[in-house]
Chains A and B, each alone.
Chain A
Amino acid sequence: MSDPLVTLVFYGIAAVTIVAAIGVVSLRNIYRAALCLVLTFLGVAGVYILLNADFVAVMQVLIYAGAVTTMLLFAIMLTRSPGSPRSNAANRQSGLALFAVLVLVVLLVLALGTAVWPQTAPVAAQSSVDVLAKQLFTTYALPFEIASVLLLAAMVGAIILARED
């Protein structure tokens, strides 16, 4: 991120992501909140691209910005009327939540701002897909397999809860 242009782009993307994320929790119309979520996901994908994580960025767009939000919007449309102005439930704890978030932000900025991260020697540029694939089927073969059971459990669970008696 030494290039000033990259830094500028980063701050632009970060600003869009944060504003959109605030929209997700503060907009009273749930349909608009869901659309803000798409923007948040896209912003995060942009950050991934700036970090040279091309594969993760593409997956972020495909799965989160694409599949997850599409499903979310369908669920909203099928379960409640999206036109209702106060469809995104709110409670009186937003002040407390804001306070907690601000405390957390201060702590994070203080801790991360002073952090010295260990540096490794720069590696030759290569496609992150190759590296990920190799890692997934060697070092991380076991978590990969556990994740398959996780998905199965989630699928079975969703059917149990959604199916009519």
Chain B
Amino acid sequence: MNLALLNPEIALVVLALFVFALDLVWSNKRGIGYVTIAGLAGVAALVAGQFGLNTTSFSGALIVDNFAVFFNLLFLGAAALVVLAALQYGEQFLHWRGEFYGVLLFATFGMMFMASSGDLIAIYVALETASISLYVLAGFRKHDPASGEAALKYLLLGALASAVLLYGMALLYGLTGSTNLAAIGQQIAGQAGQPVTLLAMTLVICGLGFKVAAVPFQMWAPDVYQGAPTPVTAFLSVASKASGFAVLLRLTTSALGPLQSDWQAIFTALAVVTMTVGNLAAIPQHNIKRLMGYSSIAMAGYLLVGMAALAAGGAPSILLFLAAYTVTNLGAFAAIIAFSNATGSDEIDDYSGLASRSPLLALGFGFCLFSLIGIPPLAGFFGKFYVFAEAVNRGLIWLAVVALLNSAVSVFYYLRVVKVMYLNPARDTSPVNVPPSLAVALAVTAIGVVVVGVGIGPIMDTAVAAAQVLR
């Protein structure tokens, strides 16, 4: 039992408590936000120091390896950018700032343990910590009925998904006599032929499928994405999804390794429907947050292609995709927040002529949308390229073709937003004022989108190092 391994997580909880306490005595809510960002940077430094450690502790419940470090840095980075974007999100939001930061940190805490737990019970408790914090965050705009509706829908469906996941976990425990992922992996091979083993695996995948918004467990996503405060939507779409995939990757490679052909079939089917439903449903949307909701479902579909192609050494492409997607989506949401702050609207039609009203905002948003489409040399292209290439390498050529066709469909609705911004005449010609913190967030992510794309080599090396521990 090595307590020092927990330093980043302990520091994160201390930071959350500090932020709550600071909120009581300091009325400068924006200042508290900067303290939170500085604290997150400190925690990230602690996490980065664990790179290459590759050790376990607490009877296998805690795994500190490169995989965990990769995901934890992803969560912390996303949290910091979300705080930056939330600093100047709507005026009524200000009143609740200190609590907002603290609950966001609790959610991040839960996600960090989701990526670094090797025990079913620890994974479940961590997942609940993240989920409950996210339910609260989704309902944070208390004066807005849509926000309350989002929180309630997320809570009810999330509780159902939790129950399904927990039932699957209980069956896994019954079949193997252990909650430790590695021990389950050794025992499950002997149970592989039983229907109940398949049932347990399916239930676990269903529960986690909710977390990553895979079809048919996606019904919550559009409503919650639209109703939740936009910074929370951004956090949901990247960090929550990434944490779900972190657990899926760990479970499938260590605990369910012997059942590879079975879960491969499940992920293949899920990938096809998730991509297709996500992309087709995105086409008629006229609210930008809802569009991003369906877009994130489609992205989950591409990631599931990666899961279906997951074989020895196949995981780096998924990690790379998640990194690229995180940067890109956070950028897009920073732009959406900036626009809705200035105009109070999330309707795509209101983006008309944004290029002439605020050229830099339109350019940054355009960059992110092109990256989501997957135009080289932006980050999104390499994410999709490696995932699809992995599918081809594993002989799933038809799946890669379906993914490419879906990608082609997605060009339509992403480009429509670009078209509205650049070609449609502006109804209102007043410039859109972008506050400094949002400008920084947008600049950081837009530069990140380019840098991840151009400097793909070292990032791929990191992803490969992180995924090595999975086998």
Interface assignment of A110: CB less than 8 Å from any CB of chain B: yes
Binds B, one of A55-63, A64-72, A74-82, A135-143: A135-143
B194 touches A116 (CB 8 A): yes
Encode B192-226 as 1/0 by CB contact (under 8 A) with A: 00111011000000000000000000000000000
A160 touches B143 (CB 8 A): no
Query: What is the number of residues of chain B that contact chain A, defined by CB distance less than 8 Å?
Result: 47
B175 touches A153 (CB 8 A): no
Give A165 Cβ to nearest chain B Cβ, in Å: 7
Complex CA–CA separation, A16 to B135 (angstroms): 34
Interface assignment of B26: CB less than 8 Å from any CB of chain A: no
B binding-site residues for A, Cβ under 8 Å: 1, 13, 20, 58-59, 61-62, 95-96, 99, 102-103, 106-107, 109-110, 113, 117, 119, 121-122, 124-126, 128-129, 132-133, 135-136, 139-140, 142-143, 151, 174-177, 187, 190-191, 194-196, 198-199
A156 touches B99 (CB 8 A): yes
Please classify the interface of chain A as helix (H, G, I), strand (E, B), loop, or mixed, using the class held by over half of its residues. helix
A108 touches B59 (CB 8 A): no
Give B305 Cβ to nearest chain A Cβ, in Å: 27
B132 touches A150 (CB 8 A): yes
Cβ contacts under 8 Å, B126 to chain A = 146
**Which A128-165 residues sit within 8 Å CB-CB of chain B?**
138-143, 146-147, 149-150, 152-154, 156-157, 160-161, 165
B129 touches A160 (CB 8 A): no
Complex CA–CA separation, A142 to B5 (angstroms): 12
Interface size class of A (residues with CB under 8 A): 20 to 34
Complex CA–CA separation, A73 to B434 (angstroms): 49
A118 touches B176 (CB 8 A): yes
Complex CA–CA separation, A139 to B122 (angstroms): 11
Contact of A160 among B61, B103, B195 (CB under 8 A): B103
B187 touches A161 (CB 8 A): no
Contact of A143 among B122, B136, B198 (CB under 8 A): B122
Cβ contacts under 8 Å, B135 to chain A = 157
Give the top 5 A-B pairs by smallest Cβ distance, nearest first: A157-B136, A115-B196, A153-B106, A142-B58, A142-B61
Q: Which residue of A lies closest to B122 (CB)?
A: A143
Encode A86-109 as 1/0 by CB contact (under 8 A) with B: 000000000000000000000110
B125 touches A146 (CB 8 A): yes
Complex CA–CA separation, A147 to B119 (angstroms): 14
Give B266 Cβ to nearest chain A Cβ, in Å: 15
Q: Can you give 17 contacting A-B residue pairs, CB < 8 Å?
A: A111-B194, A111-B196, A112-B196, A114-B195, A118-B177, A142-B117, A146-B129, A149-B110, A153-B103, A153-B106, A153-B107, A153-B129, A156-B99, A160-B103, A161-B136, A161-B151, A165-B143
Give B124 Cβ to nearest chain A Cβ, in Å: 8
Interface assignment of A2: CB less than 8 Å from any CB of chain B: no
Q: Which residue of B lies closest to A114 (CB)?
A: B195
Cβ contacts under 8 Å, A139 to chain B = 59, 61
